[in-house]
Copies of this chain bind each other. A is one copy, B any other.
Amino acid sequence: MPQYQAPLTDMQFLLHDWLNLESHYQNLGLQDFDQELVNEVLSQGAKFAEQVIAPLNREGDEQSCQLKDGKVTTPEGFAAAYHEYIANGWNAMLGSAEYDGQDLPYSMAVPVHEMLNSANVSWRLISMLTESAVLAVNKHGDKALKNTYLKQLISGEWTGTMCLTEPHAGTDLSLLSTKAQPLEDGSYSISGSKIFISGGDQDWTDNVLHLVLARLPDAPEGVKGISLFLVPKFLVNSDGTLGQANTLSVGSLEKKMGIKACPTCVMNFDQAKGFLVGAPHKGLACMFTMMNDARFQVGLQGLGISEASYQGALAYARERLQSRAPQGSINPDGKADPIIAQPDVRKMLLTQKALTEGCRALSLLYATQMDIEKNADDDFAKHDAASVLAFLTPIAKGFMTDVSQEVSHLGVQVYGGHGYIREWGMEQLSRDSRITQLYEGTNGIQAADLIGRKLSRDDGHMLTATLKLLQGLISKINNSDAASQAAAILDEWHKLSWQVKKQPAIDLAGAAYDYMHYSAYSILGVLWLSMADRAQASDNQSIKEGKKSTCAFYLKRILPRKELYKTNLLNDASDLIDVADALFDYQ
């Protein structure tokens, strides 16, 4: 596998040409940010990703993490890379200036996050969760809590974790049993065991802040009786120095299929001191601030892995000489042609490319909506952006990670048997990608969220706001054929969405996954037509022609997938429900 190279040309085309970032910033009053600054941040981010963390990725997978005498050790070089990361301010990109953050627009940070994920998703996971923790503490914590923890969390001096899952409570958080007892000093005593805690401990920082869901003694049953607590590994003295160790520990590290260089911990809280975040019993809503961010970020992990896999496959397909091309030799002096000449290999590569670049466009469009939600003066604009984000979050998470599994699968396939050998790195991408479909809510849960909540609630406003955003893109398409093709895709999706919305809950549950994919392929169709049209005005010939041909490929060979999902959308779920449980096997 070749050294990762950040796809700066594509990112800059999308941000500046396609999304017109400077005028977007001006509209939001973000005068400090211009094209030059964006490009500078991107190019510095690329350097860090390419030169510092990408080289650690393969060896990190082999070394994985160790737990000895209660202490976690991460692979060689990981801690040093993290120290460089925070020293250069990368962790603080999005943090509030009030707590020494840089308050950069999301649209500047998101492409950098993609690069980090391409380079080393195991390494990235801890700082990713820290950023999500910042959001929850910033939005729901009281002043004292923020003053004690937020600066260090934003700078990355301390890291954050998300402690939801328990052995018997994963998807269904109503079952969680970790307990919180109020103490006289206004803090709480937290007891219970949490599993699947990414970065539950590490050898990078002096402190770790756990955001823990637990039940107060008087809590109502179910999800309405869950509260959120910040539980630090080391208690913090009033002068900000670290005090005594809290009564929590790492029970064990999970042995996993992938992301082996990230410590996934069983965390035991044994009357550990914790601090309430937000109101009692409102913890789930507070945690959702963290979780929604994490869901999008997991989508970005998927995107990052897709890009890395495509780069690996493309390089190999260009250099691996086997057989002759059916259309005539392209390397007549060599013993064989590079396999990129084979139509079937080209189809795999173009599938990777069309999906990866489509997801990148989606991620950056999403980032601009985050900018608007955070910075717009206009409350309606803010609300619309929030509605778009709500609608697109399960798609970004569910679809971009499903894509990454497909794309990294194809990456292995292009390498043939060599793809299965660890040293090439292609199979690692596929294993690392696999977790993204499972954590932060499985993709089935994302699909259920999309069809059951996002589509149905709020009188369809989330759908309408998303429609409006996409119509805006279509209105800027110059080529009239492309514009009507995009409008037709959007129109069909919109109409079908309203029909789907009327179905009973059981049928929605049966059609959820189909609806998520139908929507995603439709939306990507609009994005491709819009991008390819914009690319025709580009000075860069490879952008101009490359976007055009990849769009044609998407429309011809990928978009038809939506028809398959469509067939099941309006089906009732009777065939699923009516099968007696006993019939799943034979007696």
Q: Measuring CB to CB, which residues of chain A are less than 8 angstroms from any residue of chain B?
A: 7, 9-10, 13, 165, 168-172, 174-175, 196, 254-258, 311, 314, 318, 321-323, 326-327, 330, 335-336, 339-340, 342-350, 353, 405, 409, 412-413, 416-423, 427, 430-431, 434-435, 437-439, 442-444, 447-448, 505-506, 508-510, 512-513, 540-543, 545-546, 549-550, 552-553, 556-557, 560-561, 563-564, 567-568, 571, 573, 575-587
Contact = CB atoms under 8 A, between A and B. Distances in A.
Nearest to A10: B586
B438 A412 contact: yes
Given A172-B321, A344-B448, A563-B564, 16 more contacts: A168-B321, A172-B336, A174-B323, A257-B422, A257-B427, A311-B585, A330-B581, A344-B444, A344-B509, A344-B510, A347-B513, A413-B444, A545-B580, A549-B575, A549-B578, A553-B576
B584 A340 contact: yes
B575 A255 contact: no
Nearest to A513: B344
A347 B256 contact: no
Contacts of A7: 585-586
* Interface residue SS majority, chain A: helix
Contacts of A571: 556
Given A421-B254, A423-B255, A322 B575 contact: no
Q: How many copies does the complex hold?
A: 2
A545 B581 CA distance: 11
A172 B322 contact: yes
Contacts of A576: 343, 346-347, 350, 553
15 contacts: A170-B418, A255-B421, A257-B421, A257-B427, A314-B584, A327-B506, A340-B581, A343-B509, A344-B512, A345-B444, A349-B584, A350-B579, A413-B442, A416-B438, A550-B579
B510 A585 contact: no
Contacts of A165: 417
A421 B434 CA distance: 11
Contacts of A543: 586
Contacts of A255: 421-423
Contacts of A577: 327, 343, 346
A586 B257 CA distance: 33
Nearest to A512: B344
B416 A170 contact: yes
A10 B318 CA distance: 47
A488 B583 CA distance: 28
A347 B423 CA distance: 37
A560 B567 contact: yes
A307 to B, nearest CB: 11
Given A322-B172, A412-B434, A552-B575, A586 B343 contact: no
A556 B576 CA distance: 11
B422 A427 contact: no
Nearest to A448: B344
A47 to B, nearest CB: 19
A69 to B, nearest CB: 23
A30 to B, nearest CB: 27
A551 B159 CA distance: 52
A542 B330 CA distance: 58
